[in-house]
Amino acid sequence: MVQRQTDIIQEQCKELVYNVTDDVKSSMAFLDTLQEDLTNLWKRVVKIDFNSAQSQMAIDILEKDWTEDKSINNLQNGSNAILMQMNEHAKRLLTLEMQTANLTLQRCRGDGEASKRHLQMQNIDLKLSQIDHRIDESIKLYDNHRKSNENVLRVYRDALANIARRTHNMSGDIQILSNAQANFRLDMNKFVGQLPKDCSLEKFNGIKLIQVPSLGPLEVYCDNFPNKGPWLVIQKRFNGSENFFRDWTNYRNGFGKLASEFWIGNQALHLLTYKRSMKLHIDMWDIHDRYLYVEYSNFRVRSEIDQYAIEISHHSGNASDALSSHNGMGFSTFDRDNDASSANCAVHHTGGWWYQHCHRADLNGRYSLGMTWYDEFSQEWLQLARVEMKIAPHEL
């Protein structure tokens, strides 16, 4: 843009200079013409002077002859005619002098115009030099900006190239990690797939890792007592160290420690029992350390949609069947009242259980005197100090 404006100004200046130069040339030619005219006039004046001098000589001769010639009147007339001619010459001379003066005046004016144009040209030269100076500054500024922009652009391109390199390297790392993760997942699935689905192959008591369908690997406690196992322990209490007065979510997910007191969780219970029939064995020791047990050859827990309702039947054992009366009941916690009572049995008995109206067995009730079993054989409520609930596949 600056370059274009500069070109336009230079063109205008050149045109102006050309015009002024033409004017000066015209003035000089005009002056030369005037000079020539003056020279011609001067020659004519000199000629007139010469004629006047000759006329004067003729007059002198005539005056001399006048004293001798009697026809003086005729001479007088001739003299008058010559005087008239002289007057005419004088007039023409005056006129020429006036014309000369006018020409001189015009020449002076021409000189003034030339000076004025000379000053204008000087001003134009000054402006041109100022414009050149500004153009130089603009060009320098433009160069500086261009260099600065080029530097910024170079830095930006370098940064972009670095990012591209790093991204490329990173994408390689990501691919490696992704492959490693996929391999790990395959290994993990393979490993989990090889895990047992229960404790049936375990020969020793302890914490084992099994595979629960739809849940994945799960640590459980396997127990070889009694000898009709091995058993997968779903609940254990023996010292009241664990709080069993918990909400629905806690009972769904399970709580406690496998090496101590715990509840395996209603969701795991459902997934372990809903596809194949399991048997439930319960070991009980009352506060007098008397051992009792019951066993149900059919035990199943329904899904959460069915409130983890219990299905239980086919009792055996040295304690009577107190749990079949809970058959079909949904699980209840203090925040989910699924019992058959107008009261909230979970709140009333500070536990979570398949309460009905409210219960004949409450193995998750308050540890101190609330953990009970109604034994019809002895027709008494057993006050339990220790309980273990455990399951095993029905076919064993």
Q: Give the residues lining the site for Ca ion (CB under 5 A).
A: 337, 339, 341
Q: What is the nearest approach in angstroms of Ca ion to the Cβ of residue 259?
A: 35
Of the two residues 221 and 334, which places its CB atom closer to Ca ion in the complex?
A: 334
Q: What is the nearest approach in angstroms of Ca ion to the Cβ of residue 344?
A: 5
Q: What is the nearest approach in angstroms of Ca ion to the Cβ of residue 331?
A: 13
Q: What is the nearest approach in angstroms of Ca ion to the Cβ of residue 362?
A: 15
Of the two residues 269 and 358, which places its CB atom closer to Ca ion in the complex?
A: 358
Of the two residues 100 and 341, which places its CB atom closer to Ca ion in the complex?
A: 341
Of the two residues 235 and 333, which places its CB atom closer to Ca ion in the complex?
A: 333
Of the two residues 250 and 333, which places its CB atom closer to Ca ion in the complex?
A: 333
Q: What is the nearest approach in angstroms of Ca ion to the Cβ of residue 339?
A: 4
Q: What is the nearest approach in angstroms of Ca ion to the Cβ of residue 340?
A: 7
Of the two residues 296 and 334, which places its CB atom closer to Ca ion in the complex?
A: 334
Q: What is the nearest approach in angstroms of Ca ion to the Cβ of residue 242?
A: 25
Task: Dihedral sign for Cα 202, 207, 209, 212, please.
Answer: positive
Of the two residues 278 and 310, which places its CB atom closer to Ca ion in the complex?
A: 310
